[in-house]
Structure 1
Amino acid sequence: METRSELPRPAPRNAASHALRARPEGARLNVGFILAKRFTLCAFANFVDVLRLAADEGDRSRPILCNWTVLSDTMDAVSSSCGITVQPKERLGDPTRFDYIVVVGGLMDEMPGLSAAYVRFLHQAAEAGMPLVGICTGAFMLHQAGLLDGYRCCVSWFHHADFLEQFEGLNPVADQIFVVDGDRLTCSGGASSAHLAAYLVDKHVGRAQASKSLHIMIIDDALQAEKPQPGITMDFKTRDPIVLRALLLMQQNIDTPLSVTEVARRIGHSKRQLERHFRVALDTSPQAAFLSIRLSLAHHLLESSEKSIAQVAVDCGFCDSSHLSRMFRRRFGCTPLALRQQRDTALA
């Protein structure tokens, strides 16, 4: 998969050109964090914990091989979206003392944007050739600061339509867990933050340390950037905003499927208009697309989880395991039970 946008832009430095510079002593990976107001605690904590566990023997948390610092323009405590606050450690200062600057975003509808001091700091970092990282809606904030023009960036499938509606000039990717495009790295948040952090640890500290961090966090293996986000189907490629909004609404209601009429009503269009847009954009109907999304998720759960087939059926909006089995065989040519048996045989 290509990792570069075809849009013209000044040639960015390779993300490793700054961060892999020789260091006489101390941490091999030094990361500065900027936390947005109402930032997502899970995304921040997953990223930091991978650094913490890779930095020392065992889980003793000493910042030996990795170092992490929360930065601030005011040194005021920053409240996360769940109400837990984090106290910054240092003022902004010179960004080049870090290898990466990571912006952790927050709730989409409560995103005030970065202060002028943060924007200046990030531009100073970019001008010095430093890699910038956007976590969760941090990608939105980097774009607002004028630092993602021409870059591909990763956004959560849940916010993809919001991105298309609010921002122009970018190529948002919602079917990968993270994207590395030169000196810009972005991820969709949640558990993908751990995988992006493990990617950096692998590059700068070592694969053993990256694997150790994930295993202690009870994450089986590091996932590559191209791994699809759970809940997003790879079958549909379109930039039609009406179809995208409908697909995202379907994904958000997989366990309790909505009728096509209800989907159309919620996005402000008639059933006939929605069907016409699906036919032109995807050469399929909304009903068929919704079924495909649910079956794709069922396939993912059967391969990657230990949930019972009956529970997978419920989670994906099917009446029972028999209903799932009939639809699944039509789509994939085998039953859910056969797929799981194949998986177990391959793992044995």
Structure 2
Amino acid sequence: MATAEQIKALIRSHLSDDSERFFTLALQVAAHEAKQGHGPLAHEIRDLVDRARSEKKRRTVQGLPTELDTLIEADLPGVPLSALVLPTSLLDRIHRVISEYRQRDKLRLHGLSHRRKILLTGPPGTGKTLTARVLAHELRLPLFTVQADRLVTKFMGETGARLRLMFEMIREREGVYLFDEFDALAAGRTRDNDVGEMRRVLTALLQFIEGDSSDSIIIASTNTPELLDHALFRRFDDILSYALPSDDERKRLIANTLGTFRGSRFGWKTAIDGSKGLSSAEVVEACRDALKEAVLGDLKNVSAIDLNRAMSERHHGHGGQRRSESTNSL
């Protein structure tokens, strides 16, 4: 049977309406049962999770325009606000987006509208996509992730037509719309590789964003804000800038991810020093790698030394080392 800690964690995730955490914990229970020799039960638990996830996805994607169904990833995220580990100033602004949406009718009575066009900028893995998932969950809206680079085609006028369909969907189907890699659509008009068709696409994009008055939340995300056309910035209600996590933020990420696998004598200084220069996503991925090693090795805890070994792999294999070297050269 599942351990007492697993049962308590399952209950906590259910009460907090964190479906993804619930699914993850259920799969951990399945792995535990398989290890105990209860193969049929483990298989049944995994099958239940797979079916629940498939049904969740099916409900979300119903009714997508045929022309856009290969360009949009639809989801119903179960990521609560507590999952965001960010500076207080940034969290306050995210809280403000949520509060204004929930009280949008009150704002309308005074001729005001809620913040709903948000630009997120910053290095990869710093929490931009996670923020969109959290907003969708907190506002009880589906998340539609638009692959902006795939919207662009080589055929004259087709990209503009797709954009028109996209903004019709934004108007008719309320949700959180994340335009990932936004610079693929919105690069500045003075760039050397600019062509007439992309100038027309950018002009249309500016008009669509400015003219949209739906209740949907539009989120544009970019790792390279310097490439964006300057006229775009004033079309957004808020611009949130993300950065690599601080020492305190990395400590919270490690504590949250390792959970009960972090022993009472965990070497925090070693872990925090070893994670310096990594993005939030890389810290979490390294923690999960260390967790896997502990589980497969039948260990009760993850030591800071084990974690630093996983952190080192992220430094060397995912660009962290290069980022640290470039930082030191400044």
Same fold (TM over 0.5): no
Q: So what's the TM-score if we normalise by structure 1?
A: 0.26
TM-score w.r.t. structure 2 length? 0.27
